[in-house]
Amino acid sequence: MLLFAGSPFEINRIMLIRFIAVLAIVLIFWLGTRKMRIVPRRFQSLVEMGLDFVRVNIAEDLLGKKDGRRFLPILTTIFFMVLFMNLTGIIPLLNIAGTSVIGVPLVLAVVSYVTFIYAGVRKHPGAFFKNSLFPPGVPKPIYIIVAPIELVSTFVLRPITLTLRLLMNMVVGHLLLVLFFSATSFFLFTAGGWFSLFGIGTLAFGFVFTLFEILVAVLQAYVFSLLTAVYIQLALAEEH
Amino acid sequence: MLQALSTSVIAAEATHNPIAPETPDLVWGAVCFVVLLVFFWRAILPRMKKLLDERGEAIEGNIEKADVAQREAEAVLEQYTAQLADARVEAGTIRDQARTDGQRILAELKEQATTEAARIAANAQSQIEAERQAAVVSLRSEVGSLAIDLASGVIGESLTDDTRSAAIVDRFLHDLEARDLEASDSKAVSS
């Protein structure tokens, strides 16, 4: 299934799945916040719970009230985008996570990277990079070792680990599900006979791993946004 | 069989390197992000903020209302307590008043009764005295006329002349009284 094939706007199945996830987010949050009541109804409470989770447990816990509010749009977007695109992996007919191709993890990692550098530079103009690479209070000769380590860990490894952690979790989850359900299909319909018993086993495993994938989807969304908040917090910290 | 299956699955996934990004992948990923960022930033989070502010205000308003109500209730209670105390004091005053009134009325009645009794006794006394006087007077005239009748009968002579007879009677009675007096004197001396 391809649209605009060959152009930079080529749309394949995974891009479509991402659009569906985006549409779902827009629909749910638009409807959930359309007529907000002081005393919320069930659906509104659910939406509020999701938004409050990011606001209180990620943004305000790590960054405090003021900075938490500043970076809340980015953190909220990252959390729900990752969450919904992860969940498409276990939704029937979609069956693959929107985050299981490198584009989205990479884009979000770059967003996180740019955001924490922006936060650091705004807070400590001119001193951010110097303090990041040469942390104050360390004896001068040690900088020969510390500076390269800081450079690699802060400015190279952070976006890479963010990208790969999410991407690999989703790819592996998808592979596991494909493996279990293909094997089930094979044992039940191709092999037949006594192999059907194996098929029951692989089906059960497939079911358990589907549940596990829900946990992974939520956890990865939480980890991604939490790490972004942590990086921003470190960039804003006074020592820098 | 299993091996063939797994290799085919992995082969299907590994037609290109999953870590090498393709342009459309990045483009659409970025578009999705921008759309969602604008959506949350401009639409959802301001609504949420507004709601939270309103909710905070509502809660504060309710707390304030409750405070006012509490204060009113306390004031009313105080007023009632004061009124109750006043009523108690008043009731005590009324009771005391009634007691003194009762005592006073009792004393008055007693006094009246005593006066009345004294008056009745005095009346009886004077009546008795008057009757005694009347008896003495009537007896005296009766005794006189009887004596004169007797005497005239004895001496055969009428002693009907009033002045004379009265003088005789008076003298007789006088003598009688004098004798009585003498007798009582001698009796007193002898005793």
Return the pLDDT at B1: 47
CA distance A108 to A81: 9
Residue A47 has pLDDT above 60, yes or no: yes
Q: What is the pTM of this model?
A: 0.70
Identify which of B14, B1, B24, B15 has the alpha carbon closest to the alpha carbon of residue A175.
B14
Which residues, 6+ apart, have CB-to-CB distance to A214 below 8 Å? A87, A90
Predicted confidence (pLDDT) per residue in A184-209, tens digit: 998 888 887 788 888 899 999 999 99
Q: Do A102 and B21 touch (CB under 8 A)?
A: yes
CB pairs under 8 A between A and B: 125
Residue B169 has pLDDT above 80, yes or no: no
Give the 3-state secondary structure percentages of chain A, helix then strand then coil, rounded to 5: 80, 0, 20
Nearest 10 degrees: Cα torsion A136, A142, A148, A149 = -80
DSSP structure class, residue A99 = T
Residue A238's pLDDT band, with cuts at 50, 70 and 90, is low
Identify which of A179, A178, A169 has the alpha carbon closest to the alpha carbon of residue A213.
A169
Query: Contacts of residue A19 in chain B, CB cutoff 8 Å?
Result: 28, 32
CA distance A17 to A13: 6
Q: B41 to chain A: nearest residue by CA? A: A73
Which residue has tokens 């006979």? A193
Choose between A240 and A233: higher pLDDT: A233
Q: Do A106 and B48 touch (CB under 8 A)?
A: no
Q: B19 to chain A: nearest residue by CA? A: A102
Half-sphere exposure of B188 (CA within 13 A, CB side): 6
What are the C-alpha distances in Å from A20 to residues A5, A85, A98, A156, B168? 20, 9, 9, 32, 167
Q: A55 to chain B: nearest residue by CA? A: B45
Which residue has tokens 């959506």? B39
For residue A133 the two structure tokens come to: 């690479």
Return the pLDDT at B145: 80
Q: Which of A30, A33, A81 sits opposite B36 (nearest CB)?
A: A81
- Determine the average pLDDT of the residues in B142-156: 76
Nearest 10 degrees: Cα torsion A72, A74, A75, A79 = 130
Query: Contacts of residue B32 in chain A, CB cutoff 8 Å?
Result: 18-19, 21-22, 81, 85, 98, 104
DSSP structure class, residue A11 = B
What are the C-alpha distances in Å from B8 to residues A13, B1, B17? 20, 11, 16
DSSP structure class, residue B92 = H
Return the pLDDT at A36: 84
CA distance B165 to B148: 7
The predicted complex's ipTM stands at 0.91
The vertex-A75 CA angle with B25 and A9, nearest 5°, equals 15
Return the pLDDT at B159: 59
Choose between B82 and B150: higher pLDDT: B82
Residue B160 has pLDDT above 90, yes or no: no
Q: Which of B30, B32, B40 sits opposite A73 (nearest CB)?
A: B40
Q: Do B36 and A77 touch (CB under 8 A)?
A: yes
For residue B121 the two structure tokens come to: 């006794």
Q: Which of B32, B51, B58 sits opposite A18 (nearest CB)?
A: B32
What are the C-alpha distances in Å from B190 to residues A117, B176, B184? 157, 21, 10
Return the pLDDT at B20: 83
Q: B2 to chain A: nearest residue by CA? A: A183
Which residues, 6+ apart, have CB-to-CB distance to A83 below 8 Å? A217, A218, A221
* Domain edges within chain A: 13-236
Dihedral sign of CA atoms A13, A15, A21, A22 in order: negative
CA distance A150 to A132: 7
Which ranges in chain B belong to alpha helices (H)?
2-13, 23-38, 45-155, 162-190
What is the number of residues in chain B? 191
